[in-house]
Amino acid sequence: MPASAGAGAGALDARTAAVGVPRAAPAARRPDWNGRLAHLILLVAVSVLAFPLYYAFVISTQTLDQVSSLPPRLWPSTAMLQNYAAAWSRSGMARLLLNSAIVSIGIAAGKIAISLLSAFAIVYFNFRGRQVVFWMIFVTLMLPVPVRIVSTYQVISVLGWVDTYWGLTVPLMASATGTFLFRQFFQTIPDSLAEAAQLDGAGPMRFLWSFLLPLSRANLAALFVILFVYGWNEYLWPLMITNTPDMRTAVIGIEALVPRSGSQLPEWNVIMAAAMMVLLPPVLVIVAMQRWFVKGLVETEK
Amino acid sequence: MKRAVFRNRWLPYALVAPQVAITLVFFFWPALDSLRLSLYRSSPFGDRLIYVGLANFEKLFADPAYLRSGVTTFVFSFCVTFVGMAIALLLATLANAKIRGLGIYRTLLLWPYGIAPAIAGIIWLFIFHPSYGILPYLLSFVTTYQFNWFLKGWVAMVLITAAAIWKQFGYNLAFYLAGLQGVPESVLEAASVDGAGPVRRFFSMTFPLLSPVTFFLLTLNMTFAFFETFGLVHSVTQGGPGDATAILVYKAWKDGFEGLQIGLSAAQSVVLMAVVIALTAFQFRYAERKVVY
């Protein structure tokens, strides 16, 4: 009597479900179920993460009337071009993006060059004061910009670097992370390589340029991605040492579009358009160079 | 130590010179100057400095606003770090299976890291906007409570915490997923055969095995919550309403640059420095001992 047996099993199912006793899943189907759950969780996580960006994008395509009407509209509208054009001209976006590019590439390149040289000296030379230099660099790990706000500003003004590209880049170029990364890496390179190079008559700079540098390509790329993103998104430093719109970086500059007084109605569609333009470059760098980004994140944090 | 070293009298000094120069001028000089300035206060006209000993520190620690700022910073960092990481770990554990397309998920998780805290703040500001934002709109169906962060400190706090967690969450999850892939399945199966339930299995096996990842993420998130969120606070709440979101770094900046109380701001820098040094020391000690590699 297959029908009644089925009904009996169904009733049993219903009863256990009602009582809430968990039933062991059949062993054969278990992995499949796990995989689906994993996909479901990840899809939800990824969507929740993407929603604010999507919402910001949608706002950036709407007219001001649409932005300020309820219920909120969740699909793109027609005002995209004029919003982006308005954001571009009103904030002086061309100059802001140029400044951000100069600053972030400058910081990344400078930091890499400086830390590469000092790590090379520390690993490959025996010189008086080597330990002192090493500890001096190490201690800077403990002194991020915010803990020396006023004093650093005074140093910059003594140097006459307020509102200059020098002021925006040079002070952020020295930090221990790059030096440590390269030091760590150089120590994994067998001594025989340096010996062989010396036998071939290569001097130290030749060795650095033709042997170490090509070997360090992966580290260079990883460090570059992290430092580019860091430089692009740096906030406190450019806020402190720039005081003309021409020297503002993009992240600081778009704040000019957000009115602080309550009486003026902010044009959220234009603000979001500006935000989209400013956030795009570092996000693209991360997506395009994802592999290096993860490597850089792990290694700079060591 | 390397045995094969190059010999040169002056070259190593030339090589370290740029870094040493920048370190001295932009790290040591300002740090020492902060120490010195913390013992002074500006004269009423701001034209000279008057030595006051430790008065700035006494004033700071007797100031309820400063102590509140300390509590705010602690609550904020705790929420961003622990809540953000705990949810990521929970989801990663639930989603720990052999999945296809992990690389694509990784990309979709990592991109928010590239967004500046200030920009993340502006996006979330609009989501929370009392008149047009989608969140107060949705909540208005459930309750008549006004979630107005312009007026209510705790809503402003939730706003900046949400923005900060949003930016960090994806890579927390991505790193936990990657870490879990490294936990050998046989270990978990053995524990399961021993009769350990999922919760016990998690706390006795998975969590200890993930401790390097946790430690790495903890450092990263804590530094972020402490220092990099300045842009978030500055661009969104300006420390308000009242001083509900004035974290320590924001307060040090505000007292120094807007209040022009150089000595008081320097004293705050010194306190922050002490905190950072303590955290770094803790990091190194703890990292050596407790982390299972």
Contact A152 B253 (CB under 8 A): no
- Between CA B253 and CA B269 the distance in angstroms is 9
Model pLDDT, residue B287: 62
Residue with tokens 């590239």, as numbered in its chain: B114
3-state secondary structure of B216: helix
Best B15, B131, B193 residue to mutate vs chain A (most A CBs within 10 Å):
B15
Q: What is the pLDDT of residues A196-255, one digit of tens each?
A: 888 888 888 888 898 889 998 888 988 899 899 999 999 989 998 898 888 999 999 887
Q: What is the pLDDT of residues A78-112, one digit of tens each?
A: 888 999 999 999 888 999 999 999 999 999 999 99
**Which of 16-35 (B) contact A at CB < 8 A?**
16, 18-20, 22-31, 33-34
**Which of 187-226 (A) contact B at CB < 8 A?**
187, 191-192, 194-195, 198, 203-205, 207
Q: Which stretch of DSSP H or E encloses residue A296?
A: helix A290-300
In terms of pLDDT, which residue wins out, B293 or B270? Answer: B270
Whether B224 shows a pLDDT value over 70: the answer reads: yes
List C-alpha distances in Å: A276 to A282, B33, B126, B167: 11, 40, 14, 15
Three-state SS across A145-184? HHHHHHHHHHHHHHHCCCCCHHHHHHHHCCCHHHHHHHHH
| Least Cα separation, residue B240 to chain A (angstroms) | 13
Task: Locate B107 and state its tokens.
Answer: 């990309």
pLDDT band at A280 (very low <50, low <70, confident <90, very high): very high
* Interchain CB contacts (distance < 8 Å): A and B: 293
- Those residues with Cβ within 8 angstroms of residue B223's Cβ, 6 or more apart along the chain or in another chain: A144
CATH architecture under which domain A100-259+278-300 falls: Orthogonal Bundle (1.10)
- Between CA B162 and CA B182 the distance in angstroms is 30
- This prediction's pTM: 0.86
Contact A297 B231 (CB under 8 A): no
Contact A235 B234 (CB under 8 A): yes
Whether A75 shows a pLDDT value over 50: the answer reads: yes
In terms of pLDDT, which residue wins out, B208 or A112? Answer: A112
- Check if the beta carbon of residue B42 is closer than 8 Å to that of residue B263: yes
pLDDT band at A10 (very low <50, low <70, confident <90, very high): very low
Provide the 10 A C-beta neighbour count for residue B242.
Answer: 12
> Domain boundaries in chain A?
100-259+278-300
pLDDT band at B288 (very low <50, low <70, confident <90, very high): low
Taken in order B150, A73, A67, A85, the sign of the CA dihedral is positive
- Those residues with Cβ within 8 angstroms of residue B106's Cβ, 6 or more apart along the chain or in another chain: A290, A294, B174, B177, B178
- Between CA B268 and CA B266 the distance in angstroms is 5
Contact A41 B137 (CB under 8 A): no
pLDDT band at A3 (very low <50, low <70, confident <90, very high): very low
Whether A57 shows a pLDDT value over 60: the answer reads: yes
Contacts 24+ apart (CB under 8 A), A64-68: A64/A267, A64/A268, A64/A269, A66/A269, A67/A268, A67/A269, A67/B132, A68/A265, A68/A268, A68/B131, A68/B132
Whether A170 shows a pLDDT value over 80: the answer reads: yes
**Which of 32-51 (A) contact B at CB < 8 A?**
34-35, 37-39, 41-42, 45-46, 49-50
Given A118, A123, A301, which is nearest B19 (Cβ)? A118
- Between CA B240 and CA B94 the distance in angstroms is 38
- Domains contained in chain B, CATH given: 60-290 (1.10.3720.10)
| Least Cα separation, residue B93 to chain A (angstroms) | 9
Lowest mean pLDDT of A27-31, A174-178, B217-221, name the range: A27-31
Which residue of chain A has the CA closest to B232?
A: A235
CA angle at residue A297 from A47 to A165, to 5 degrees?
A: 105
ipTM, interface predicted TM-score of the complex: 0.87
Contact A150 B15 (CB under 8 A): no
Model pLDDT, residue A26: 47
Contact B2 A147 (CB under 8 A): no
Model pLDDT, residue A96: 94
B/e letters for A212-244, b = 16+ CB within 10 Å, e = fewer, are beeebeebbbbbbbbbbbbbbbbbbbbbbbbee
What's the rounded mean pLDDT across residues B4-19?
Answer: 86
What's the count of helices (H) and strands (E) in chain A, helices before strands? 17, 0
Model pLDDT, residue A25: 46
pLDDT band at B142 (very low <50, low <70, confident <90, very high): confident
Q: Give contacts of A291 with chain B, Cβ < 8 Å.
A: none
Given B16, B107, B129, which is nearest A121 (Cβ)? B16
